[in-house]
């Protein structure tokens, strides 16, 4: 079991979490929110369902303005993978903030060091790089590179995928930010294998990956013009509740893409840079993507993202006018470089794998005693619990998800709501004792909600 303590991030498990106000949010949070919410509009449900005001983050904990300290089970939104304010990352950002903040896309010593370091992190030849400042812009750039590289215009992505909220990136995912305008021309969606809710199964009831691949082939023939540039996929569907594909899906999709002359884009904005216990999630399935996007944990909180393109297609980056105002600025590169160095120096990938084993064992045990839980899954520190009204019908139970989210938050676990899914993405530097405490609180909250709902 993983008990390693990352000394800078140590918190006393007997005193964490610590809720000192009668209500959560406490009075100071309420007062500040009243002021902020006069102007700021468009908060996520993470905030509206539990509107506390955070003041400080340290390692695996967050503290609000009322002095309540929470265990962080979301890392922002899968961003602070190495915990809040890692001293090495904070120092790297601060020293560059004092020295040189921006010089457009000129090379700087720290950018060159990051480029060389990035090449060392991967088992592939993704040597064509551009840096950006959000996951969405990196995805948009990747789509443009695909078109430039192949001379083809169409894209295929999957139901429940999420790749960003603007322009073409949104056309690779859910449509709710488009106000009924719909998907951009040439963007198509297909179902992908979800082991808990499979569409295609074999006679023995197991998921039939070959049937999905056959469906893709038929779909391309009948629904597209045959002009498909790329498949764009999340390795694990994060936003949708940590949905993991069967182990044979990506290797088979790779073969299909090769056979069909289609590129494979792995959007690792959420899964990349250690979240699942490897630098890149696609490594788990030994599958080489043609293009990878990374973000979130890449700068451990600093807005820095990247598009990595394989050697074969990297010249196409030159055709897309790839640079931006902030991409690759010295502070951003320093944050990303320091984060990779921390991963190397502190052995946190192995720790994330150990933690993943603990979380999985714990969630499987929880499922046996809580009828509200329909399915559990996880890899490293990317975890999901699906709440259902009835295990036989698998009907999603969104109201239960909301109640469990709020209850656990009030007891000291800061995390993310997602309808009937409980999404958990703690920092990968978490000690076992604190991880266990967080899971105790989540289980206790599920039990209380079950009691209230008459289970
Ligand atoms: C897989 C994936 N791609 C792209 C994005 C968009 O990233 P950003 O919010 O930084 O624009 C996200 C954000 O959640 C994501 O999870």
Instruction: State in Å: Cα 298 to ligand 1 middle.
Output: 12
**In this predicted structure, what is the pLDDT of residue 309?**
98
Instruction: State in Å: Cα 335 to ligand 1 middle.
Output: 18
Alpha-carbon gap, residue 272 to 275, rounded angstroms: 6
Residue 283 sits in the same domain as residue 369: no
Digit-coded pLDDT (tens) for 392-419? 999 999 999 999 999 999 999 999 999 9
Alpha-carbon gap, residue 210 to 40, rounded angstroms: 48
Q: Which domain holds residue 198?
A: 102-328
Domain membership of residue 135 (yes or no) is yes
Residue 266 sits in the same domain as residue 393: no
Please identify, among 267, 297, 328, the residue that sits at the C-terminal boundary of a domain. Answer: 328
Residue 80 sits in the same domain as residue 107: no
Alpha-carbon gap, residue 168 to 140, rounded angstroms: 6
Q: List % helix, strand, coil for the chain (3-state, nearest 5).
A: 40, 20, 40
- CATH number for the domain spanning 44: value is 3.90.1150.10
Average of pLDDT values for 149-178?
91
Residue 175 sits in the same domain as residue 289: yes
Domain membership of residue 142 (yes or no) is yes
Alpha-carbon dihedral angle through residues 15, 16, 18, 24, given to the nearest 10 degrees: -170
For the CA of 234, the nearest atom of ligand 1: 1
Digit-coded pLDDT (tens) for 341-400? 999 999 999 999 999 999 999 999 999 999 999 999 999 999 999 999 999 999 999 999
**In this predicted structure, what is the pLDDT of residue 174?**
81
Alpha-carbon gap, residue 187 to 105, rounded angstroms: 31
Instruction: State in Å: Cα 22 to ligand 1 middle.
Output: 36
Domain membership of residue 91 (yes or no) is no
Instruction: State in Å: Cα 135 to ligand 1 middle.
Output: 5
Domain membership of residue 287 (yes or no) is yes
Instruction: State in Å: Cα 296 to ligand 1 middle.
Output: 8
Quick check: 103 and 109 in contact, CB under 8 A?
no
Residue 230 sits in the same domain as residue 313: yes
Q: Is the pLDDT of residue 175 over 90?
A: no
| Residue position matching structure tokens 């064509």 | 128
Digit-coded pLDDT (tens) for 197-224? 999 999 999 999 999 999 999 999 999 9
For the CA of 164, the nearest atom of ligand 1: 6
Domain membership of residue 296 (yes or no) is yes
Q: Which residues does ligand 1 sit against, CB inside 6 Å?
A: 134-136, 139, 162-164, 234, 238-239, 267, 269-270, 295
Alpha-carbon gap, residue 132 to 300, rounded angstroms: 15
Number of domains comprising the chain: 2
**In this predicted structure, what is the pLDDT of residue 178?**
64
Q: Among 241, 267, 291, 295, say which to mutate for ligand 1: greatest number of ligand atoms within 8 Å of CB.
A: 295
Instruction: State in Å: Cα 111 to ligand 1 middle.
Output: 23
How far are the Cα atoms of 273, 354, 394, 396 from residue 388, in angstroms, in the given order? 32, 28, 5, 4
**In this predicted structure, what is the pLDDT of residue 341?**
98
Domain membership of residue 366 (yes or no) is yes
State yes or no: cis peptide before 175, omega within 30 of 0.
no
Residue 170 sits in the same domain as residue 318: yes
| Residue position matching structure tokens 């009828």 | 371
Q: Among 176, 270, 299, 425, say which to mutate for ligand 1: greatest number of ligand atoms within 8 Å of CB.
A: 270
Please give the order of strands across the beta sheet that includes 382-387: 373-379, 382-387, 421-424, 416-418
Please identify, among 263, 297, 328, the residue that sits at the C-terminal boundary of a domain. Answer: 328
Residue 206 sits in the same domain as residue 251: yes
**In this predicted structure, what is the pLDDT of residue 93?**
98
Q: Which of 34-38, 179-183, 406-410 has the lowest mean pLDDT?
A: 179-183
3-class secondary structure per residue, 196-238: CCCCCECCCCCECHHHHHHHHHHHHHHHCCCCEEEEEECCCEC
Quick check: 370 and 447 in contact, CB under 8 A?
yes
Q: Is the pLDDT of residue 17 over 70?
A: yes
Domain membership of residue 95 (yes or no) is no
For the CA of 238, the nearest atom of ligand 1: 16
Digit-coded pLDDT (tens) for 254-305? 999 999 999 999 999 999 999 999 999 999 999 999 999 999 999 999 999 9
Quick check: 344 and 119 in contact, CB under 8 A?
no
Alpha-carbon gap, residue 262 to 271, rounded angstroms: 23
Q: What confidence category does residue 88 fall into, taking pLDDT thresholds of 50, 70 and 90?
A: very high
**In this predicted structure, what is the pLDDT of residue 150?**
98
Quick check: 164 and 157 in contact, CB under 8 A?
no
Instruction: State in Å: Cα 173 to ligand 1 middle.
Output: 11
Residue 366 sits in the same domain as residue 239: no
Residue 302 sits in the same domain as residue 386: no
Structure tokens at 205: 């009831």
Q: Among 140, 162, 174, 336, say which to mutate for ligand 1: greatest number of ligand atoms within 8 Å of CB.
A: 162
Please identify, among 276, 300, 328, the residue that sits at the C-terminal boundary of a domain. Answer: 328
Quick check: 432 and 14 in contact, CB under 8 A?
no
Going by their DSSP bridges, the two strands 305-309 and 413-414 should be labelled as unpaired
Structure tokens at 232: 């764009």
Structure tokens at 435: 């991880």
- CATH number for the domain spanning 190: value is 3.40.640.10
Domain membership of residue 12 (yes or no) is yes
Residue 239 sits in the same domain as residue 356: no
Going by their DSSP bridges, the two strands 305-309 and 187-190 should be labelled as unpaired
Residue 19 sits in the same domain as residue 133: no
Q: Is the pLDDT of residue 1 over 70?
A: no
Residue 378 sits in the same domain as residue 296: no
């Amino acid at each position: 079991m993983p008990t390693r303590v990352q000394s800078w991030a140590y918190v006393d498990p007997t005193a964490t979490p610590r809720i000192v106000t009668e209500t959560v949010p406490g009075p100071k949070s309420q007062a500040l929110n009243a002021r902020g919410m006069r102007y700021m509009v468009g908060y996520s449900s993470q905030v509206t369902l539990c509107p506390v005001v955070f003041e400080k983050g340290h390692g695996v904990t967050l503290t609000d303005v009322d002095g309540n300290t929470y265990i962080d089970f979301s890392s922002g939104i899968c961003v602070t993978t190495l915990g809040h304010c890692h001293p090495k990352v904070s120092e790297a950002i601060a020293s560059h903030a004092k020295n040189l903040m921006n010089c457009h896309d000129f090379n700087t010593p720290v950018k060159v060091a990051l480029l060389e370091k990035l090449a060392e992190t991967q088992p592939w030849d993704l040597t064509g790089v551009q840096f950006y400042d959000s996951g969405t812009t990196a995805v948009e750039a990747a789509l443009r590179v695909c078109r430039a590289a192949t001379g083809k215009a169409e894209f295929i992505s999957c139901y429940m995928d999420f790749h960003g909220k603007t322009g073409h990136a949104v056309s690779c995912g859910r449509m709710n930010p488009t106000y009924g305008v719909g998907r951009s021309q040439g963007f198509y969606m297909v179902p992908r294998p979800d082991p808990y809710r499979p569409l295609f199964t074999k006679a023995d009831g197991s998921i039939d990956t070959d049937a999905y691949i056959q469906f893709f082939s038929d779909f391309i023939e009948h629904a597209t013009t045959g002009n498909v540039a790329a498949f764009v996929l999340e390795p694990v569907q994060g936003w949708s509740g940590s949905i993991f594909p069967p182990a044979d899906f990506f290797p088979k999709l790779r073969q299909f893409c090769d056979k069909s002359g289609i590129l494979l884009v792995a959007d690792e904005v959420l899964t990349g840079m250690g979240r699942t216990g490897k630098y890149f999630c696609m490594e788990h399935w030994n599958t080489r993507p043609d293009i990878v996007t990374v973000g979130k944990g890449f700068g451990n909180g600093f807005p820095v993202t990247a598009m990595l393109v394989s050697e074969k297609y990297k010249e196409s980056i030159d055709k897309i006018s790839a640079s931006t105002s902030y991409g690759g600025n010295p502070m951003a590169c320093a944050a990303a470089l320091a984060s990779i160095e921390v991963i190397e120096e502190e052995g946190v990938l192995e720790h994330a794998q150990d933690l993943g084993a603990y979380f999985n064992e714990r969630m499987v045990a929880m499922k046996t005693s809580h009828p509200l839980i329909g399915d559990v899954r996880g890899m490293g520190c990317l975890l999901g619990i699906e709440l259902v009204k009835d295990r036989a019908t698998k009907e999603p139970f969104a109201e239960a998800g909301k109640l469990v989210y709020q209850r656990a938050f009030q007891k000291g676990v800061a995390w993310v709501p997602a309808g009937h899914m409980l999404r958990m993405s703690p920092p990968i530097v978490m000690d076992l004792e604190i991880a266990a405490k967080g899971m105790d609180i989540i289980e206790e909250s599920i039990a209380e909600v079950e009691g209230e709902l008459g289970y």
